[in-house]
Chain A
């Protein structure tokens, strides 16, 4: 059952449905599992969805030492305060979105636990909102992953201006995406769930000339 914690009047509710209800990604209808098992196994671009991750939007003050220290304790990673940077460990990734805003991703089953920990331990004026239901995550990798990004977004993807771990929010096709470079030929796209179907169709088209592999 989904749980509600009331901590001194601050209420955190577990947004996942009850255990007997299976969560569905916004790309559920695309049946990526069948495409992964029956489709091509080699090609220039590989797309893998990371469905049902926990995404938490954090707004706080990077000049507040108590908050910065608390975030580091709660996440085990220091708040990345430089523009367009990210920091990660085995459990979570924290992305700079704007001077007072970060996007944290954790395992979907851990989001509620982390929200409750913030409510209990984070000092000062801040906001932590569970936005997991509004997005899905796609990873694009392979020799031609960079070419697919070039077709879709007006950003410079050369390693010299887009190194590993850099994060940009930008226009992607006729939608938007938060793009993080995981490795030279490996990108993460965080996209709005309402645009997921459109972007999935766009990405299939943009990848066609290189050969698209769907991975699960």
Chain B
């Protein structure tokens, strides 16, 4: 079981209260009409699958029902941090 810190509830809760919603920081193209099929397809369907540091979107489904982001190591499952939508991660693959 993962022990996850919800940045809205400001405390750790058990994994079963949460759902993972995939890759974080997906920016929707500002003008979809101006996208090429490749750009739009990239946005809609293509996701990273890194070995190591990954940024994910999660929801505290049984708790406050708010979304937040998580930086997680896909090799060790270690959760490096959780942070609110709109905030930047402090741990990245480069750092």
Contacts and interface: CB of A to CB of B under 8 A. Distances in A.
Contacts of A99: 8, 64, 66
Contacts of A97: 64
A154 B1 CA distance: 11
Contacts of A170: 13, 17, 62-63
**Secondary structure dominating the interface of A:** strand
Interface string A144-165: 0000000000110000010000
Interface in A89-137: 97-99, 101
A15 interface: no
A214 to B, nearest CB: 27
B9 A83 contact: yes
Interface residues of B, number: 13
Nearest to A172: B62
A169 B66 contact: no
**Secondary structure dominating the interface of B:** loop
Given A168-B63, A169-B62, A84 B11 contact: yes
B17 A171 contact: yes
Nearest to A98: B64
B62 A176 contact: yes
A154 B16 contact: yes
Interface string A72-99: 0000000000011000000000000111
A59 to B, nearest CB: 12
Contacts of A168: 9, 63
Interface in B28-60: none
Contacts of B16: 154, 171
A65 B5 CA distance: 29
Given A99-B64, A154-B13, A169-B62, 4 more contacts: A84-B11, A98-B64, A154-B16, A171-B16
